[in-house]
Amino acid sequence: MKIKALSVGCTLMLCACMSYGVQNSEYQHKIGQWIGQNAENLYADWGMPMQRQQVDGNTYLAIYYQSESQPVDNVFQPYESEMSYDAMAVPDYGLPTPPPLFYCKTTFVIRGGIVVDANFNGDDCY
């Protein structure tokens, strides 16, 4: 019985991870298409990065941020597996609740003027 319960639990966790992965894989594919491209082409399409962080003499990170008070796709819960951290809740002290903030941080690694890697973090990357 314990093995069956463990098996069911593992299956549910795997399905949740797969759902999260499918949503992210589309954006990962979109930004991954820039790998091997000239950084100037990236800037022409995305604009100048909001932050540029030097890694070494030949490598830097081009970082783009996007934040909205409403999600891009109008889905207010973008991930089924989204976690809520009640321990971090702050009392409102009678003040109005601020609107939610949806964000996406996309980072491109540029080496020798060529995009060599790309990654992202956020709850509204599309």
Report strand pairing: 51-56 vs 59-68: antiparallel
- Is residue 120's pLDDT more than 80? yes
pLDDT tens digits along 6-15:
443 444 444 4
Q: Which residues pair with 110 in a beta bridge?
A: 60, 115
pLDDT tens per residue across span 62-101: 999 987 765 555 555 544 445 555 555 666 677 776 666 7
On whether the pTM is more than 0.85, the answer is no
Give the mean model confidence (pLDDT) for residues 15-20: 42
What is the DSSP secondary-structure string of 43-55?
A: HHHH-S-SEEEEE
Residue pointed to by tokens 């070494």: 56
Q: What is the predicted pLDDT for the residue at 95? A: 73
Residue (of 112, 102, 104, 108) closest to 48 by Cα position: 108
